[in-house]
Structure formats: C-alpha cells, structure tokens
C-alpha cells in the first residue's frame, strides 16, 4: 500500500537523530578540544562565519567540506580525525590523534591547530581540554601516585565508568597551559564505539559546565543590585503610609523602581535560562557515565554536587529574587495606584457635589430672575394692552386707570404661563438629551 506524501521535514528529523555519531577510538590515543564563544550573549551564532572558519582549516589538509547549512562535521584531516559542532552559542573543535605523547598532557598537542588559523577564530576560548587515553589491562585502578602527579589531590575526581569499562580522572582545574586535563584508562575489552562515547560525554560535560557557569558572574552582579533595590523598595513602601508625602510622588518613584527591575529581568532572563538548561544537560552526561566509586576518591558527580551545584543555586536564587522583587514592586504600585484612584474618586465626588450645589443655587437664582422677568414683561404687556383697549373703553366712558387695572391680572397670568411653558419644554429637552425645537 503506498504511503501518503512525506511531510517536508520527515527526513530532516530522522537524520537529526543520527547526525552526530560517536567517534570510533582505540587506546592509546588522545584528544585536543577547543570551545569558542563570542563574549556577548547571543541567541544564535553566525553559523556561516563558523562554517567559513572550519572550511579554512579543512582546506589546509585538503579535506572534504561539510554540506551547506551543516551544524556538525566529522571527517579525516590529514592523519587526524576532526569533529566540529556548532551550537546555539558556541562552536567546538575536537581533534582525535592515535597514540599518546611521551610527556603527559604536552601543550604541544595544540599544534594540530595552526596558530594563524586560531588567531582568526570568530570568538574567544570558552574552554580547552586535553584527553589522554591509555590502555589499562590491570584489574586494579592505575597507580594513585601517578594520578597525583597529573592532577591536584584536593580536587581529584577518579572513578570507574560505563560498567567498569574504563577509569576516568580529572580535577577540572586549569593547568599551566590553560587546559583542563582528563585521563582515561581503557580496559582491553572496551569497544571503539564505547570508548568514543565516553570521550564525547567527557568533553560535552566540560563544555556544558563552562556554559552553565557563565551565568554566575551575572548572578552575583544582579544580587548586588537586588540588595540595593530591595532597600529602596522597602523605603518607598513605608513612604506609602506617610500622610505628608503626596501619593503621586511615591507612585512615580515606585514606577521608576519597577522599570529598573524589569530592565534587570529582561537583561538576565536569557543568560539565567540558558545556564539552567546547560546545567541540566551536564547532569545528564554525568548520569550516562554511570560512575562507580573508587575507595577514597571523589566521583565527578560528587565534585559537581560540592562545587558546581552551589553556583547553580546562586543563579537560581538570583533569578527567583529578581522575580519576587518584580512582583513586590508591581503589588506595591498597584496598591498605591488604587489608593490614588480612590482619593481621586473622592475628589471627583466632592467636585460633583460642589457642582450640584452650584446648579441648585443657579436654579434658585434662575427662578428669582424668572419672577422679575414676569414682572418686567407683564409691565410692558399691560401697557400694550392698555394702548390697544383704551380707545374702545373711552367710548364707553371707562377711565384709563380702570382699564389698566383690569388688564393686569390676565396679562400677568398669560406672561407667567408662557414663560413656564418655555421652561418646562427646556427641562424636558435636557432630560431627553435633545435640542429644544422652538
């Protein structure tokens, strides 16, 4: 039965699971590892720039180029094997070389990278490591005196890994050449794939550990700012209860504090989140090593629990304190803003009451003026009526004074009715919100 058409990403997703196979290594051998990162935080590196830098190295050995847009490469360069991986924030180069130098952890091992090529690297060295892999056929662990001569006894991690298929030793300290040293003693029965996975996990552990720790200096800097902002915020919260300080001024200062806190949150969110993600991947790499304790020695897991995890807790604490401070500043601002709104509502209520009193006063004044208007209009209306009626009253012998007196009551009533009708129509029009149609 034919299948439906393929999803456009189907093959890409399947190949992604198999795109980074572990190298096949055979003891004795050694690995030279270099991780490069730009100094600023960046959500994405310029992959094309990294690819050009890789191709420059490959061209020196006449090696094949990676496909367009590739983020990883593994192939032979001269008599070595090169593994290149481009991550979100950093890029790594690992060269695997057969055999080991007579001098353990000889700094000349870095000569596999041309000096002028390294000088043009798109970034700075994040970490560098040398891995020495020896064949160990004895049932007992390697001589501790020999291990002590390579590593610091105070920080030495020494354990069995991957079901007793190898011994791993390191101290995660920089040697005089600026490298982290790893020693691997492989059992004769270990397969090339398994040895390659062990070396790969060790180097990934080192890279992710370094990336995770990048958040620590930022966390310490943020902690100092948090301490300052915490004091300032507490002072402003206390000022909220001070009746002598206008609430609007306190609210403006609280908004300034909240703005500064949000600036810190946005400036550290990526770094803190990335540190937690890298730390989690590093913990998973330690789990995959399946360490077994060698009596009297510290395992890599124990070392990270004592030295690495406190740093991660510092980062998590700084992120949490910053988030809590932002919540407190927002809550204080909302509370004060509510208070200001209530006070403004009270002021508006008083203003409306004052306006009502003014309207009532104007209404009384209007009624008073209306009474005077009736008298004035009636006076002129009576005169007009008298002038009109007097010629007829004269024929009947009626005196002008009596005509005027008789005309006053109906004229006043008529004027009053007209003015009252106009006022009622105005009031009715105002209630309906429509203009008066006179």
pLDDT tens sequence across 350-385: 787 878 778 777 767 666 666 666 666 666 676 766
Which position has the higher pLDDT, 302 or 335? Answer: 302
Per-residue model confidence as pLDDT tens digits over 221-258: 999 988 888 888 888 777 777 666 677 777 778 788 88
For the cut 60, the answer to whether the pLDDT of residue 296 exceeds it is: yes
% residues pLDDT > 90 (the chain): 39
What CA–CA distances, in Å, run from 308 to 202, 272, 279, 280, 283? Answer: 16, 15, 9, 12, 10
CA distance 261 to 254: 11
Which position has the higher pLDDT, 339 or 203? Answer: 203
Q: What is the mean pLDDT of residues 320-335?
A: 84
pLDDT tier at 43, thresholds 50, 70, 90:
low
Per-residue model confidence as pLDDT tens digits over 118-147: 999 998 999 999 999 999 888 788 887 888
For the cut 70, the answer to whether the pLDDT of residue 198 exceeds it is: yes
- Hunting for tokens 């996975």 — which residue is that? 197
Residues 6+ apart with CB under 8 A from 181: 105, 129, 130, 132, 150, 151, 170, 171, 173, 175
24, two tokens: 């096949």
What CA–CA distances, in Å, run from 86 to 68, 217, 230? Answer: 13, 25, 41
Mean predicted lDDT score pLDDT of the chain = 83
178, two tokens: 């600026």
Across the strands, what pairs with 169? 158, 183
For the cut 50, the answer to whether the pLDDT of residue 438 exceeds it is: no
- pTM for the full predicted model: 0.76
pLDDT tier at 213, thresholds 50, 70, 90:
very high
Ranges of each domain in the chain: 18-191, 215-337, 366-432
pLDDT tier at 275, thresholds 50, 70, 90:
very high
The pLDDT value given to residue 81: 93
pLDDT tier at 421, thresholds 50, 70, 90:
confident
Across the strands, what pairs with 134? 185
CA distance 327 to 337: 15
């Amino acid at each position: 039965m034919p299948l439906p058409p393929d999803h456009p990403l189907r093959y890409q997703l399947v190949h992604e699971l198999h795109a980074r196979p572990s190298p096949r290594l055979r003891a004795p051998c050694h690995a030279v590892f270099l991780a490069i990162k730009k100094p600023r935080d960046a959500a994405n590196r310029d992959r094309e720039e990294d690819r050009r830098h890789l191709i420059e190295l490959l061209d020196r050995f006449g090696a094949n180029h990676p496909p367009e847009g590739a983020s990883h490469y593994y192939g032979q360069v001269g008599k070595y094997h090169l593994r290149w991986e481009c991550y979100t924030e950093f890029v790594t180069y690992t060269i695997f070389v057969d055999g080991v130098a007579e001098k353990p952890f000889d700094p000349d091992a870095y000569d596999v990278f041309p000096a002028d090529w390294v000088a043009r690297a798109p970034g700075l060295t994040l970490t560098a490591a040398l891995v020495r892999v020896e064949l160990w056929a004895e049932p007992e662990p390697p001589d501790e005196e020999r291990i002590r001569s390579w590593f610091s006894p105070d920080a030495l991690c020494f354990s069995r890994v991957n079901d007793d298929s190898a011994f791993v030793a390191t101290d995660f300290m920089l040697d005089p050449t600026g490298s982290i040293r790893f020693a691997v003693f492989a059992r004769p029965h270990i397969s090339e794939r398994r040895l390659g996975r062990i070396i790969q996990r060790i180097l990934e552990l080192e890279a992710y550990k370094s990336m995770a720790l990048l958040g620590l200096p930022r966390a310490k800097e943020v902690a100092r700012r948090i301490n300052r902002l915490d004091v300032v915020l507490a002072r402003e919260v206390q000022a909220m209860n001070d009746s002598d300080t206008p609430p609007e001024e306190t609210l403006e200062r609280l908004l300034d504090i909240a703005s500064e806190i949000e600036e810190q949150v946005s400036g550290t969110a990526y770094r803190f989140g990335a540190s937690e993600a890298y730390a989690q991947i590093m913990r998973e790499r330690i789990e995959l090593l399946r360490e077994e304790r060698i009596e009297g020695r510290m395992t890599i897991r124990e070392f990270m629990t004592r030295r690495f995890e406190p740093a991660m807790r510092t980062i998590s604490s700084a992120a949490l304190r910053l988030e809590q401070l932002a919540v407190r500043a927002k809550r204080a601002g909302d509370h004060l803003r509510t208070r200001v709104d209530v006070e403004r509502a009270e002021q508006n209520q008083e203003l409306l009451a004052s306006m009502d009193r003014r309207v009532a006063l104007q209404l009384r004044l209007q009624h008073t003026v209306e009474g005077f208007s009736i008298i004035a209009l009636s006076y002129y209306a009576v005169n007009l009526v008298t002038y009109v009626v007097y010629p007829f009253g004269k024929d009947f012998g009626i005196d002008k004074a009596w005509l005027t007196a008789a005309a006053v009551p109906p004229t006043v009533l008529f004027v009053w009715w007209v003015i009252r009708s106009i006022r009622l129509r105005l009031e009715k029009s105002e209630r309906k919100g429509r203009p008066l149609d006179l």
